[in-house]
Each structure stands twice: as structure tokens, then as C-alpha cells.
């Protein structure tokens, strides 16, 4: 049976005259056919052979998403290299740390500035090679075969560094067998979504290829009858999506939450009649969705779809069937908001160590807001001690690069321990409730997952960019709130949330932080997750102030710091 790489090369050969990849530049597409992409891959392979690359050598890729990135990735894998994809927006210190860990022999960069930055931070960095420097060189005098070198299922094909939420990033090794199985699973779900259509999948993509799930969907698209459009400017996503007019595309919750807030804020500024229609049609949809429709609900819902819902959906183009969302659970309210617009959002869950995906909603059945779908084919999932999700199957990574002790901690008795807490319902759908390492243990002995509290406060406080609950080893919970937030507004939200919670889960005090947490200031991971240890260290004095003697007295009244 061919592996995933052999399937990709065979498909590109079959699509020799058909567009498979394109980039958006302004309002224009820069497109490549399958044959043109193979030609770029051939040029890179010829360069690698002239450079003396040996099977198993590590090579780093540091660049934004592009057609060239895909060509270099395919060429490196085809020549037997181990690809180390790096995030172009990540802090230089993190990038250098990753490369020192895996010691690549070559660093391929998308532009000079990226390479110069690495060289300044690490004078001993491997030789830097620009994409253009390779692609402008002539190909091999004798054309290489349009097939990859032979690879075994156990061969390591990539090292993807984890985001490092609670420590140094670790290099996750994935092998040929992991990726081949995963692409069979993603292909199955996309076949279910697209049905018997005879047109190519229209796909848009903006998430960085150094993320496992993002990379897996790229490889999946390259095995399908697809036209994949790559974003070239994240500041113009709305225009790019409309121009690409996709059938589906992968998202993170942050973008979908931002779209929902933007729509609601825009509608709040519209004339009273439009606001009234939106409110009545939204309420009608909610009642019908739970089987409690009233006599006039059909009228209001039809009016809302014609005047408002349909126009919002049109912004995604004329072909949209669904959105796919991963990296973190999407709030049920936002998932229901898109469902009301006629756009189902399929959720998935997974980790780098599970080749990006463990669960994914089945597009043939109604989505269940708050859940991340059922387990993909060929894998097992269950809960262990402390409601931890454990997984086993052919998608589980063989280990961390040069970290046997840490590998042994998470791979036990054939099961991978995810550190995520969750539960599965009678339909087989999973819900993710928190991270075990994020648990806050009060000095009363109560164990508290901060994520549900943070999510609820953030939903009710739209001006907040982040909400971080703290209190490990303390007597009560406090919070750090970033963004342009008024203290009175934050207090009002806490006053509405706290009565619904047991006393030990109530947030007694908060501190407003003007500067948001970002990737650049080291307080978010590369995929936007909170680096809680770094946040606690950076704001140690502010946290301490909320727990001083005066603070204890004020806590009873809920005053902010």
C-alpha cells in the first residue's frame, strides 16, 4: 500500500495540467498546476543532492506559508530528510533553542531578514539558504523521477516543536506511518463532507504550516482533487476568504469569536428596525433549535435569513459548506451563532503527539455545540485517573527528540496520556474540560480547572483580550484581565458570574493589565495559548498584591486591585 508521500506525488503527476495551489496577492491569484509544483520540487531535490544531504539529516524551514514552503517540504521529505518546520513569528530565542536541540544541517528561509535575525541571535547557526536562491538555480541535467525515495513507516519524517505552555518546547517526532494513517482519516471526513460532487474542493488556508493539524490538512489537500488558496496577508483575511470562495477551511476559535463579535457590534449600530429583526429572528432560531418554536417564529426566521443571516454568510463566498475549527474548544454560543447563519462549524481535537487530530465532527450528522466530535477511525480513546483523556492507535508519535525520560512519562502501557481532561457522551462525542497541569489547587484542597471560568468571564466581557485565573496554593481565586477594560465593567461581570459558582470557584479580586499577552512578548505560545508559568512570573508582584493582608479584607467585598 503506498504511503502518503507516494500518494501526493502520484496525484500531482495526475494533476499535471490542473491548478492545485495558489496564493492571493491583492485581488489576483498566483497559481501553480500539479506539474509546475513538481518542477519546483525537482529543483529543490536537485539542490539537496548537490549539497550532499543524507537520509535522516535534519533541515529546518523558517518562512511564512507559501507555495514555495510546500515545494521545499515535499522535496525534503522525498529525499529522506527530517523536516523541522519553524514559526516565522516566534521569538528568536525560542527558535534558536529549538534548532540547538535538533541541530539541523541546513536552514531554509523565506526572506533574508529572518535568516539574519537567527544569525545575530546564534552565530553558530547552520548554513542559511534562501528559497529563491535554490529555485533560481537550474535543475538537474537529468530529471529526477517524479516519485519520492523509498521510506519505511517507522522512518521519522518531521520534528514539530510543541508550544511549550508549561516549560521548554519539546520536539515531537512523527513518522511516515503516523502521517499516512492520519491522512486516511482526514480524507474520510472530507469525503463525507463533499459527498458525490464532481468539482474540485475549493479550500482556503491561513494557519501556519508548522502546526501539526495545519500541516496535515495541507498534505491531505495535496492528495485530493482540490484547489488550495493560501492567504498572503492576515490583515486582509475577510477579503481573501470572499475572493477564494471556499467550500471549507480550517480555523482557530479566536478568529470565529472575532467574527461573531464584529457582526454583533456592527448590528448594534444599525437602525432600530434591523436590530429588532435580528433580535426576534435570533430568539426564534433558538426556540426552534430546542424544539420550542412559536407560531410566528417561522416568519421572523425567514425575514432574518433574507435580510441579515444570508448577507453575512455571503461574505464567505458562494460555495461555503462548513467551517472546521481546532486548537482549542469553541464556545457553544459561537458555534450556535454560526449554525444560525446556516454555517455548521465542525470541531476537532488533537495534539502534536497525536499527529494533530484525535476527534473530528462527522459532517453527516448535526453538530453538538460544546463537543469536539467523535474519535477518528482506527484509534481508541478513554478517560483515566482524574478524567484524563488517554489515546492509542497508529497516529501516536514514537517519542520526543532526544528526551527518552519525558517520552516514558506520557507513553505508558501503550496509551498516550494527553494531560487533557474530558468526557464522552452517549453519542460518542467528546468534550474537553481543561488541562491537568493547569489545575489550580487552593490551600483548602479544592482542585479547580481555570478554563471554564476564564471562558465565561471573557464571553461576558468582550473588551477583555485575555482573562487568566490564578490562585495556586492560595485561599481564593483572583484574575488578571488584559485589554481596554473598565474596572466597573469587569466587576459587573464577576458579580453576575460568581453567584452561579460554589464559593471556592468564585473570583474574588482582579487586576487590569493594559498590555495584552502576545507571542512576541513571550506570554502566548506560537498557536496562541496562554503560557501560564511565564504570566505568573511576569506579574508576580501584581498577583502578590491581590493576596496581601489588605487584599484579604477587600476580597469579601469583591473590590478590584
**Alpha-carbon distance 63 to 90, whole Å?**
11
By percentage, how much of the chain surpasses pLDDT 90?
A: 74
pLDDT of residue 290: 84
Q: What is the mean pLDDT of residues 472-487?
A: 92
Q: Output DSSP code: residue 307.
A: I
Which residues, listed in sequence order, are joined to residue 107 by a DSSP beta bridge?
60, 128
Q: What is the CA radius of gyration of the chain?
A: 25
Question: pLDDT tens across 229-275, in order?
Answer: 999 888 899 999 999 999 999 998 888 988 998 899 899 999 999 99
Q: What is the mean pLDDT of residues 67-90?
A: 96
Q: 557 or 365: which carries more pLDDT confidence? A: 365
pLDDT of residue 393: 97
Q: 554 or 323: which carries more pLDDT confidence? A: 323
Grid coordinates of 457: 468571564
Question: pLDDT tens across 284-314, in order?
Answer: 999 988 888 888 889 999 999 999 999 999 9
pLDDT of residue 550: 42
**Alpha-carbon distance 374 to 360, whole Å?**
6
Judge whether 239 and 315 are in contact, CB under 8 Å: no
pLDDT at position 445 over 80 = no
Give the pLDDT band (50/70/90) at residue 443.
Answer: confident
Q: 163 or 362: which carries more pLDDT confidence? A: 362
Question: pLDDT tens across 113-172, in order?
Answer: 999 999 999 999 999 999 999 998 876 656 778 899 999 999 999 999 986 555 678 999
Residue 354 burial (CB count, 10 A): 27
pLDDT of residue 558: 39
Query: What average pLDDT does the structure give for the chain?
Result: 91
- Residue 86's alpha-carbon distances to 57, 215, 432, 497, in angstroms, are 16, 12, 27, 40
Question: pLDDT tens across 498-556, in order?
Answer: 998 888 889 999 999 999 998 888 888 876 788 888 898 899 999 999 998 544 333 33
pLDDT at position 557 over 70 = no
Grid coordinates of 407: 517520552
Model pTM? 0.85
pLDDT of residue 257: 86
543 Cα distance to chain centroid: 30
For 226, residues 6+ apart whose C-beta sits below 8 A from its C-beta are: 20, 200, 201, 202, 203
Judge whether 440 and 450 are in contact, CB under 8 Å: yes
pLDDT of residue 540: 92
Helices (H), 269-361: 272-289, 297-304, 310-314, 332-340
Question: pLDDT tens across 27-61, in order?
Answer: 899 999 999 999 999 999 999 999 999 999 999 99
Give the pLDDT band (50/70/90) at residue 442.
Answer: confident
pLDDT of residue 172: 97
Lowest-confidence segment of 10-14, 223-227, 484-488, 525-529 by average pLDDT: 525-529
Q: Are strands 430-435 and 415-424 parallel, antiparallel or unpaired?
A: antiparallel
- Residue 376's alpha-carbon distances to 184, 372, 504, in angstroms, are 10, 11, 37
**Alpha-carbon distance 202 to 543, whole Å?**
48
Q: Which domains does the chain have, with CATH numbers?
A: 4-247 (3.40.50.12780), 253-318+322-436 (3.40.50.12780), 439-555 (3.30.300.30)
Judge whether 331 and 455 are in contact, CB under 8 Å: yes
Amino acid at each position: 500500500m503506498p504511503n502518503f508521500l507516494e500518494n501526493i506525488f502520484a496525484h500531482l503527476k495526475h494533476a499535471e495540467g490542473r491548478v492545485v495551489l495558489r496564493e492571493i496577492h491583492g485581488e489576483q491569484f498566483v497559481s501553480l498546476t500539479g506539474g509546475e509544483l513538481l518542477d519546483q520540487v525537482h529543483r529543490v531535490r536537485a539542490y539537496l543532492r548537490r549539497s550532499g544531504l543524507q537520509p535522516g539529516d535534519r533541515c529546518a524551514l523558517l518562512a511564512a506559508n507559501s507555495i514555495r514552503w510546500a515545494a521545499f517540504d515535499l522535496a525534503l521529505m522525498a529525499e529522506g530528510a527530517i523536516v523541522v518546520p519553524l514559526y516565522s513569528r516566534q521569538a528568536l530565542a525560542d527558535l534558536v533553542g529549538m534548532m540547538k536541540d535538533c541541530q539541523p544541517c541546513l536552514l531554509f528561509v523565506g526572506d533574508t531578514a529572518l535568516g539574519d535575525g537567527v544569525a545575530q541571535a546564534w552565530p553558530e547557526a547552520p548554513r542559511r539558504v534562501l528559497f529563491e536562491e535554490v529555485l533560481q538555480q537550474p535543475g538537474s541535467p537529468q530529471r529526477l523521477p517524479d516519485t519520492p525515495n523509498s521510506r519505511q513507516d517507522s522512518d521519522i519524517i518531521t520534528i514539530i516543536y510543541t508550544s511549550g505552555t508549561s516549560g521548554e518546547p519539546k520536539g515531537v517526532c512523527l513518522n511516515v506511518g503516523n502521517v499516512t494513517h492520519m491522512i486516511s482519516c482526514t480524507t474520510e471526513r472530507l469525503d463525507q463532507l463533499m459527498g458525490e460532487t464532481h468539482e474540485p474542493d475549493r479550500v482556503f488556508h491561513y494557519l501556519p504550516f508548522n502546526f501539526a493539524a495545519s500541516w496535515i490538512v495541507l498534505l491531505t489537500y495535496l492528495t485530493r482533487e482540490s484547489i488550495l488558496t493560501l492567504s498572503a496577508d492576515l490583515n486582509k483575511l475577510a477579503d481573501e476568504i470572499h475572493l477564494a470562495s471556499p467550500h471549507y477551511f480550517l480555523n482557530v476559535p479566536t478568529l470565529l469569536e472575532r467574527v461573531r463579535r464584529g457582526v454583533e457590534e456592527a448590528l448594534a449600530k444599525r437602525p432600530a428596525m434591523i436590530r429588532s429583526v435580528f433580535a426576534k429572528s435570533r430568539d426564534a432560531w433558538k426556540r426552534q433549535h430546542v424544539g420550542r418554536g412559536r407560531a410566528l417564529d417561522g416568519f421572523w426566521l425567514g425575514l432574518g435569513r433574507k435580510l441579515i443571516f444570508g448577507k453575512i454568510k455571503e461574505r464567505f463566498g458562494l460555495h461555503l459548506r462548513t467551517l472546521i475549527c481546532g486548537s482549542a474548544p469553541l464556545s457553544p454560543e459561537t458555534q450556535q451563532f454560526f449554525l444560525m447563519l446556516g454555517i455548521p462549524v465542525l470541531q476537532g481535537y488533537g495534539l502534536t503527539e497525536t499527529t494533530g487530530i484525535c476527534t473530528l465532527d462527522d459532517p453527516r450528522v448535526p453538530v453538538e455545540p460544546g463537543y469536539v466530535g467523535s474519535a477518528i477511525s482506527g484509534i481508541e480513546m478513554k478517560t483515566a485517573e482524574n478524567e484524563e483523556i488517554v489515546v492509542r492507535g497508529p497516529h501516536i508519535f514514537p517519542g520526543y527528540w532526544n528526551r527518552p525520560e519525558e517520552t516514558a512519562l506520557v507513553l505508558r502501557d501503550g496509551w498516550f496520556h494527553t494531560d487533557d481532561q474530558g468526557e464522552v457522551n452517549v453519542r460518542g462525542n467528546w468534550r474537553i474540560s481543561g488541562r491537568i497541569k493547569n489545575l489550580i489547587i487552593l490551600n483548602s484542597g479544592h482542585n479547580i480547572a481555570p478554563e471554564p471560568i476564564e471562558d465565561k468571564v471573557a464571553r461576558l466581557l468582550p473588551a477583555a483580550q485575555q482573562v487568566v485565573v490564578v490562585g495556586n496554593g492560595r485561599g481564593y481565586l483572583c484574575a488578571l484581565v488584559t485589554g481596554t477594560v473598565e474596572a466597573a465593567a469587569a466587576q459587573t461581570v464577576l458579580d453576575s458570574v460568581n453567584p452561579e459558582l460554589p464559593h471556592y470557584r468564585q473570583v474574588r479580586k482582579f487586576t487590569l493589565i493594559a498590555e495584552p499577552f502576545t507571542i512576541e512578548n513571550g506570554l502566548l505560545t506560537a498557536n496562541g495559548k496562554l503560557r501560564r508559568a511565564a504570566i505568573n512570573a511576569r506579574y508576580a508582584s501584581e498577583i502578590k498584591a491581590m493576596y496581601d493582608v489588605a487584599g484579604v479584607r477587600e476580597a469579601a467585598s469583591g473590590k478590584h486591585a
